[in-house]
Amino acid sequence: MRPVIPYVTAALLFGLGVYGVLRRRNAVLVLMAVELMLNAVNLILVTADTAVRAVLPHSGQVFALFVIVLAAAEIGVGLAIVLQLYRLRASVAVDEVPLTEPAESPRTGGAPEPAAVSAAGRDTEVGR
């Protein structure tokens, strides 16, 4: 068997997955694109296993099994993050996810303003 057709198919799948990761704004669709890339890697591993079976028997299939387990764990964690994001923001758009925390201003940080502390401290010291 000539492995050219599975390699070209895997390259097309991987390219489609990269396009999906770079272009999509919905987090669920980004996870699906990552799954496409992982399936392309599985196709390459199994094809390489059949092409060089005499050197390392069934090593590509074992690696493909590990990639499948990794993909299942990635989907579990990824969907948990997407669900939490939807609960907090009511949207799963990747563009709306803040990557850094906003800097806290002294008025909204939860700590009282310095002038209010000093005025309250003077009032209690004088005994009014």
Residue-wise burial string across 4-14, b where 16 or more C-beta atoms lie within 10 A, e elsewhere: eebbeebeebb
* CATH classification (class only), 4-126: mainly alpha
Model pLDDT for residues 80-126, shown as the tens digit of each residue = 988 888 888 777 887 777 777 776 756 655 555 555 444 455 445 45
Q: How far is CA 70 from CA 21, 27, 75, 98, in A?
A: 18, 19, 9, 27
Residue 70's nearest CA partner among 30, 21, 37, 24 is 37
**pTM higher than 0.85, yes or no?**
no
* Domain range list for the chain: 4-126
